[in-house]
């Protein structure tokens, strides 16, 4: 190969590599917006699942009813830390005066939030300020957050929040016992609700997961005891400065996902599980510059209460 041709070949290869890298970054950010509470745009179709979403629910021959671990999941180390005695944290509230100060600051637009928050979505701001990252210990609340996180396969958080109240109504306030007893007719009725736009397989998935949760409650006393044991009954406190630093999944999420799927849960891949961990406060991923980071850390560091 002549020097001229070799130089031309090298330049073409460099250009191709740069285009490939740029395309991968675009694809990554596209999926990041859906899974994390960063995405505020409507998805192109409420019933379609992106190629990345299929990895969240795991590859299967029947995508509506069968889940299996991806090759990447199988390669993740499954070693777990020692399980501590069953403990639960008491429900605590932020100091009333502090809440009033924050509310007043919010009205004046002075509060600094995570960089992905915009002022155009009031319900989304409330979700960030009041729910996301707050440690949840009640089984009903945990089941609700697990079910809502599972819907990230089809929707982003903004779209899910628009349906939250209707979802609470049709799923009996997300009481796992009641949902676990739902029969085929109820599943079809919920799937037929035009305001939800949920596929029947998604509804059946929530019902089946409720049944799996009831089995865990019989084994561990509560789903809360089971799920919190993975983080030694104390939230993982992260100190990310930028949204790009927040991971899509972690080895801990991989381990939890693998065990949940082994127990019969569906559509709970590592990315979905990590989204659940974030919203349920098992991991605190508010950026350090966000006013909620300190408040959620204070909640996480309160003394334990044995129940």
Residue 206 has phi, psi (to 5 degrees) of: -65, -40
- Give exposure, 91-102, as e/b (b: 16+ Cβ within 10 Å): eeeeeeeeeeeb
> For a pLDDT cut of 70, what percent of the chain falls above it?
63
307 vs 225, higher pLDDT: 225
pLDDT digit string (tens) for 119-160? 778 888 999 999 999 999 999 999 999 999 999 999 999 999
Which candidate, 233, 186, 228, places its Cα nearest to that of 207?
186
Q: Which CATH architecture is the domain 113-301 placed in?
A: Orthogonal Bundle (1.10)
pTM of whole model > 0.85? no
Round to whole Å and give the CA distance between 107 and 95. 18
Residue list for the binding site: 114, 128, 286, 290
- Cβ atoms of 196 and 188 closer than 8 Å: no
**Residue 306: band (very low, low, confident or very high) from pLDDT cuts 50, 70, 90:** very low
Residue list for the binding site for Zn(2+): 114, 128, 286, 290
- Res 32 pLDDT > 70: no
* pLDDT computed for residue 19 by the predictor: 58
* pLDDT computed for residue 80 by the predictor: 34
In the chain, which ranges are continuous DSSP H helix?
3-35, 51-57, 71-75, 96-107, 122-130, 139-150, 157-170, 176-180, 184-192, 200-220, 223-228, 251-262, 270-279, 291-300
- Res 21 pLDDT > 70: no
pLDDT digit string (tens) for 199-213? 999 999 999 999 999
Round to whole Å and give the CA distance between 252 and 260. 12
* pLDDT computed for residue 70 by the predictor: 42
**What's the mean per-residue pLDDT of the chain?**
76
67 vs 256, higher pLDDT: 256
Query: According to the per-residue pLDDT averaged within each range, which of 63-67, 85-89, 300-304 is highest?
Result: 300-304
Between 11-25, 130-144, 172-186, the lowest mean confidence (pLDDT) is in: 11-25
Which candidate, 78, 52, 55, 80, places its Cα nearest to that of 68?
55
How far, in Å, are 2, 14, 110, 143 from residue 277 at the CA level? 57, 40, 28, 12
Q: Give the residue-averaged pLDDT of 242-260.
A: 96
DSSP string, 99-129: HHHHHHHHHTT-----TT--TT-HHHHHHHH
Which candidate, 133, 134, 82, 139, places its Cα nearest to that of 307?
139
* pLDDT computed for residue 13 by the predictor: 56
- Res 91 pLDDT > 90: no
Round to whole Å and give the CA distance between 302 and 235. 11
pLDDT digit string (tens) for 214-250? 999 999 999 999 999 999 999 999 999 999 999 999 9
pLDDT digit string (tens) for 268-305? 999 999 999 999 999 999 999 999 999 999 988 775 54
**Tokens of residue 204, six digits:** 């059946």
Q: Give the residue-averaged pLDDT of 168-189.
A: 97
Between 87-91, 100-104, 249-253, 289-293, the lowest mean confidence (pLDDT) is in: 87-91
* pLDDT computed for residue 120 by the predictor: 79
* pLDDT computed for residue 116 by the predictor: 86
Which candidate, 155, 120, 300, places its Cα nearest to that of 164?
155
* pLDDT computed for residue 24 by the predictor: 52
63 vs 128, higher pLDDT: 128
* pLDDT computed for residue 16 by the predictor: 57
Which candidate, 284, 277, 285, places its Cα nearest to that of 299?
284
- Res 8 pLDDT > 90: no
Round to whole Å and give the CA distance between 190 and 147. 14
């Amino acid at each position: 190969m002549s020097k001229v041709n070799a130089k031309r070949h090298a330049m073409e290869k460099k250009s191709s590599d740069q285009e490939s890298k740029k395309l991968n970054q675009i694809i990554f950010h596209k999926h990041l917006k859906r899974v994390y509470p960063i995405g505020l745009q409507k998805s192109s179709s409420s019933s379609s699942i992106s190629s990345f979403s299929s990895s969240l629910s795991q590859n299967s021959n029947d995508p509506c009813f069968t889940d299996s671990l991806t090759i990447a999941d199988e390669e993740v180390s499954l070693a777990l830390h020692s399980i501590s005695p069953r403990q639960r944290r008491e429900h605590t509230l932020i100091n009333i005066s502090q809440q009033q100060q924050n509310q007043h600051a919010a009205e004046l637009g002075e509060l600094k939030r995570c960089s992905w928050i915009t002022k155009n979505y009031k319900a989304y701001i409330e979700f960030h300020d009041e729910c996301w990252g707050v440690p949840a210990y009640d089984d009903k609340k945990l089941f609700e957050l697990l079910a809502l996180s599972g819907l990230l396969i089809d929707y982003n958080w903004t779209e899910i929040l628009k349906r939250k109240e209707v979802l609470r109504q049709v799923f009996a306030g997300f009481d796992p016992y009641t949902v676990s007893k739902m029969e085929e007719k109820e599943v079809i009725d919920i799937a037929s609700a035009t305001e939800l736009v949920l596929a029947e397989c998604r509804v059946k998935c929530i019902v089946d997961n409720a049944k799996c949760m009831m089995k865990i409650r019989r084994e561990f006393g509560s789903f809360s005891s089971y799920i919190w044991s993975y983080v030694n009954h104390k939230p993982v406190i992260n100190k990310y400065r930028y949204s790009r630093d927040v991971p899509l999944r972690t080895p801990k999420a991989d381990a939890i996902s693998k065990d949940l799927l082994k127990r019969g849960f569906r559509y709970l891949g590592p990315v979905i599980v990590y989204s659940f961990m974030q919203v349920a406060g098992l991991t605190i991923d508010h950026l350090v510059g966000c006013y909620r980071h300190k408040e959620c850390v204070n909640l996480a560091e309160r003394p334990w209460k044995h129940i």
